Amino acid sequence: MNTPQINNPRTLLLTALLLAFSLPLAAQETAQSAQPAAPVQVISAEARAVVERMSAYLRTLKTFQIEGLSSRDELTALGYKVQNNERSLLTVSRQDNKLRSEVTGDIRNRTFIYDGDRLTIYSPDDAVFARVDAPDSLPKLIGGLLNAGIEMPMIDVLYQAGAGNLMEDVRGGVLLGESSINGVACYHLAFRQATIDWQLWVEKGARPLPCRIVITTRYEVGDPQYQTTLRWNLQPKIDSSTFVFTPPKGVNEIPFNDPASLKEVTGGGDR
């Protein structure tokens, strides 16, 4: 299966991130043979070291919960740039092959539950839910969601924690210094890709977790930004109901939008 490209600010949390890594040392631009070589842009050794430590640590996590407080800019038809806010809560049990993701915000409210066999998507705003057969592993599920264009909060965190390549399209990156996010000492990094700039704050010390991401889309009117601040719980309370969906009274089941199952969307490949 082809590795999906994660370069859409609406689904990218770490261009990203989050969430097995195989990071190149630097991304380069190569001119056509008839033209002079383009300037090479590289990731500094300090920035690369922080990202590699973060990536390695994320791979060790088996059970975790992430709360994300996010905002995204939207340009209205009248030319106003407005900010939409949302809260996401992602609970993952990698050893049990299950996840639950909930989002509440200005634009939409959604719940996603994966029990290892099926994916359930619940829309409380519409009082409906849909179920679809899903791949038999989290990496395959994540790849299928990305390929199908299904937007799930913090899906890129899972992608990067399993099989991502954070540096794939990066042209340059630097360690700016140190900063504090909600009282947590962090390294502050900045990266550039073809059409977006993104910043990453990574916790210092024994838990190199991503704490904040800011993504700026260049070449669009107003240079809209997406930003999210993450709070991690590495010992979440998980019970028998966490990965089970029980429809509330008055909520109806509807067919999944895509006639193909999520298994078919993924192409059945391993990662």
Residue 232 domain-assigned (yes or no): yes
Q: For residue 123, is it within any domain?
A: yes
Q: Which residues partner with 196 through β-bridges? A: 217
CA distance 18 to 227: 14
Structural domain includes residue 75: yes
- Is residue 84 included in any domain, yes or no? yes
Residue 271 lies in a domain: no
Compute mean pLDDT per 10 residues along the chain, 271 residues long, and list them.
Answer: 37 33 27 43 88 89 94 87 93 92 91 93 92 87 76 66 69 95 96 92 96 90 90 93 95 75 39 33
In a domain? residue 82: yes
Q: Could you tell me the CATH number of the domain that includes residue 128?
A: 2.50.20.10
Residue 8 lies in a domain: no
pLDDT of residue 31: 29
- What residues make up the domain containing 232? 45-265
27 found inside a domain:
no
Number of folded domains that form the chain: 1
| pLDDT reported for residue 259 | 40
Bridge partner residues of 122 (DSSP): 111, 129
